[in-house]
Chains A and B, each alone.
Chain A
C-alpha cells in the first residue's frame, strides 16, 4: 500500500510494483519508462469522468472544453462538459449564456460552422452553486416545513450564495448526481478556482466530518434542552461574548434544521468521495511552464498520486514554439545585431526596389536590431520553459504540450485546434 506513496520523488527504476487486486491503470502515474506512452485518445476512451484541475490562469476551462469536444468528435461519444467559469465569448459560443444549472446540447450547426462533421453529442452545463445547494436541500430535507425553513434561514443563504468554500463540495456533488442519473459516456469537469487546489478533493470528507461532528451536537444542546453541562460551559461563555446570544441562537437553529438531514448528507458525501477514487475517474492536471503555477500543479499531481487517485495526464499550455530553442537562431540573431549597419546597407537596394520609402538604412538597421532582440528575449523564456519541463517530478502517461496560440480561443474551431494538440 505504501509503495506508491513512497516513491513519488525518486522515480527512475523504483516504480511501485503492481499490487494484486489493484486496478492495473493505477500504477502508471509514476513510471518514467512509460511516460508519454499513453495518449489522450486512449485516456478519454477508457474513462467516464475527467476532472481538470490545476492553478488559476493556465487555461483549465478551455482545456477541459477542448477535451470534451475532441471526445465527442473523435469517439462519437455523448459528452458533458461541466464548467465553472468560462470566458464570456467561449460561453456564448457554447450557448452557455444564462442557462443556469441546466444541461444544454451544443447544436450540430455549431460544429458545421466550425468546419467539423458532427459526431457524438456535446452537452455543456454551468455550475450554479446556489441552485445546486437548493437542490441538495430539497433532496435531503425530511419534510416540507424543514425544507422551507432551511431555504429561508439567513445563515443558509449566506453559505450557499456567497462562500466560495461551498463551491468545492457542490461541484463534486453535482458531478456525482449527473454521473449516477444520466447516460453520458464521458463527463469532463472543470474545477472551481480554489485557494488551495486540494480543497475540492477534501470537500466530501470535510462535509461528512462537519455533520458527524460531536461539536455539532454540543452546539445545539442548550437550545434544545437548556441544560448546559460543565464541559461545554466555557465554550458558550466565550462564544456568547464574541458572537452574542442572538446570533448563537441563529446558528443553533440552523444546525438543528440541518441535523434532520444528517444521514442523507453523510451518506451522500461519502459516495461522492468514493466516486473521486473510482477507477473510472481520472484527473487532468493543467498548467503552464511558468515557475509558480508549475510548482503548484506539480504539488497537486504529487498529492493525487499519494492519495491513490488516478493522474491521467498533465497538459502544459501556452508553451512557446520550438523554433525559439534552435542554436542556429541564436547565431543569426547575434549576427543581425552585431552587423546591423552592414546588413542594412546590403539589403536597402532590394527594399527600395519594393518601395522607395523603405530604403532608409538607419530604419532597416533598427528593425533588424529589434527583430533580433525580440528573438533573443523570447528564447530566454523558451529555454527556461524546457528546463522546467525537464524537472517535473511526476511524469504521467500522457504529458501533452500545447503551443502558445497568438489569439484567444473563443469558439469550437479554436477548441478543436487546442484539442488536436493534446490528442496525440
Chain B
C-alpha cells in the first residue's frame, strides 16, 4: 500500500490544464472517505475546487463541504491577520487596510514574504494537528518552487527577527518526508512531461520538500493486443470495410477512423510516458489515471477519479 495519504501535508502541482485541481480534489475526497479529517485549500482562488465538489464558493475560513472534508481558499490578507494574531500576538483591531497595503507593498519587493504567509498557514494547520491531512491545490509548476523555497529564501535574507524564527519550524515540517510531500500531476504529452521532469529536478535541488508521487492523468486505454491490431487493420481495409458497411446499413468508415485516431494518440503518448519513466527517479511512484470520456467536471467525476486513485494506491 502506498503511504501517500499518511502524510500530513500534500502540495499538488502540475502544468496548467493537466487536471491538477481534479487530482487535488480527488485525493482529499479519497482521504476523507477513508476516515481522515481533511482540509483542502485552493491557492489560485479560481474557485474550481467548489466546482469539483459541487458546493458553494469557498472562503478563507474553512467549511465542511462533505463529511470530514473541509475546504478553504487562500487569501493573503486574511492570512496576514491570522498570522499577526496567532504568531506575533499582535491584535489587529478593525482596520487592517493600510497595514495590509503596506505589507502587500513590502511583499512585492521582499521576496518570499507573501509565500511565507501561504505556506505558513498550511504548516500551522499541520503543527496544531487540526487535521489528519492538509491537501494544497498549489500554484502551477512554474510557481510552486518559489513557494516551497520561500522559507529558505527568507532564512538566507533575514538573519534575525521574528520572521526568522517562524521559518525555522516551517522548514522542520516541510523537510520531513514523513510529513510533507509534493504530488506532480501531468498528462502523457510533450510539454507536461518535460515540465514534470524539470520540476522533479528543481524540487530536489532547490527545495527541502520531497516529491512523493507523480500522477499521470488521462491515460488512454490500450484498445488491442498485437494480434487484434492485425485484425483491426484488416477489417479497416477497403474490402472488409465495404462489406461491414453493407451489413450494418451505414458507413463504418468514420467508426474505424475514430479507432485509428485513438490508436495513434495512444502510441504518441506512450513515447512521452517512456520519457517520463526515464526522467524521474525510480523511487518516486507513478500513479495512472484513465482518460475519462467526458468533458464536464463535478462531484461524480471527482468520485470516479478518487476511486481510480484508491486503486492505484493499493486500497
Chain A residues engaging chain B, CB cutoff 8 angstroms: 55-58, 87-89, 154-155, 158-159, 162-165, 193, 195-196, 210, 213, 215-216, 218-219, 234-235, 238-247, 250-251, 254-255, 288-293, 296, 321, 323-324, 326, 328-329, 331-333, 335-336, 339, 343, 346-347, 350-351, 354-355, 357-358, 360, 363-364, 366-368, 370-372, 374-375, 377-381, 384-385, 388, 404, 406-408, 410
**CA separation between A326 and B258, bound complex, in Å?**
12
- Give the bracket for the number of chain B residues in contact with chain A: 35 or more
Residues on the B chain within 8 Å of A357, using CB? 227, 230
A387 to chain B: closest residue by CB: B295
A323 near B257: Cβ-Cβ < 8 Å: yes
Tell yes or no: B44 within 8 A of A by CB: yes
Given A55-B17, A350-B243, A378-B261, answer yes or no on A158-B111 (Cβ-Cβ < 8 Å).
yes
Residues on the A chain within 8 Å of B102, using CB? 215, 218-219, 235, 239
28 A-B pairs with CB atoms under 8 Å apart are A56-B15, A57-B16, A57-B17, A58-B16, A155-B111, A164-B143, A193-B142, A195-B139, A195-B143, A241-B88, A290-B295, A291-B296, A321-B261, A323-B254, A329-B251, A332-B250, A354-B237, A370-B228, A371-B232, A371-B258, A372-B255, A374-B262, A380-B293, A384-B295, A384-B296, A385-B295, A406-B264, A408-B268
B22 to chain A: closest residue by CB: A292
Binds A, one of B123-131, B157-165, B306-314: B157-165
Residues on the B chain within 8 Å of A88, using CB? 194
B105 near A291: Cβ-Cβ < 8 Å: no
**CA separation between A350 and B228, bound complex, in Å?**
16
Given A346-B247, A351-B235, A355-B230, answer yes or no on A56-B16 (Cβ-Cβ < 8 Å).
yes
Tell yes or no: B297 within 8 A of A by CB: yes
B252 near A246: Cβ-Cβ < 8 Å: no
Residues on the A chain within 8 Å of B99, using CB? 234-235, 238
Residues on the A chain within 8 Å of B284, using CB? none
Q: How many whole Å from A215's CB to the nearest CB in chain B? A: 5
A367 near B228: Cβ-Cβ < 8 Å: yes
Residues on the B chain within 8 Å of A371, using CB? 223, 232, 235, 255-256, 258-259
B295 near A388: Cβ-Cβ < 8 Å: yes
Tell yes or no: B86 within 8 A of A by CB: no
Tell yes or no: B85 within 8 A of A by CB: no
Residues on the B chain within 8 Å of A288, using CB? 17
Residues on the A chain within 8 Å of B261, using CB? 321, 378, 404, 406
Residues on the B chain within 8 Å of A155, using CB? 109-111, 157
B235 near A347: Cβ-Cβ < 8 Å: yes
Q: Of A210, A216, A251, A358, which one neighbours B110 at CB under 8 angstroms?
A: A251
Query: What 6 A-B pairs are tightest by C-beta distance, nearest first?
Result: A56-B16, A57-B17, A244-B161, A323-B254, A158-B111, A335-B248
Give 1 or 0 for each of B102-127: 1 = CB within 8 Å of chain A CB.
10011011111100000000000000
Apart from A87-B191, A235-B98, A372-B255, what 18 extra A-B contacts exist at CB < 8 Å?
A55-B17, A58-B17, A158-B112, A158-B153, A195-B140, A238-B84, A242-B162, A243-B158, A244-B163, A246-B159, A329-B254, A336-B248, A347-B243, A347-B244, A357-B230, A364-B235, A375-B259, A385-B295
Q: How many whole Å from B313's CB to the nearest CB in chain A? A: 25
A57 to chain B: closest residue by CB: B17
B18 to chain A: closest residue by CB: A57
Q: Of B106, B157, B244, which one neighbours A343 at CB under 8 angstroms?
A: B244
A370 near B224: Cβ-Cβ < 8 Å: yes
Give 1 or 0 for each of B85-104: 1 = CB within 8 Å of chain A CB.
00010100000001101100
Q: How many whole Å from A409's CB to the nearest CB in chain B? A: 9
Given A58-B17, A381-B295, answer yes or no on A210-B105 (Cβ-Cβ < 8 Å).
yes
B255 near A243: Cβ-Cβ < 8 Å: no
B206 to chain A: closest residue by CB: A162
Residues on the A chain within 8 Å of B88, using CB? 238, 241-242
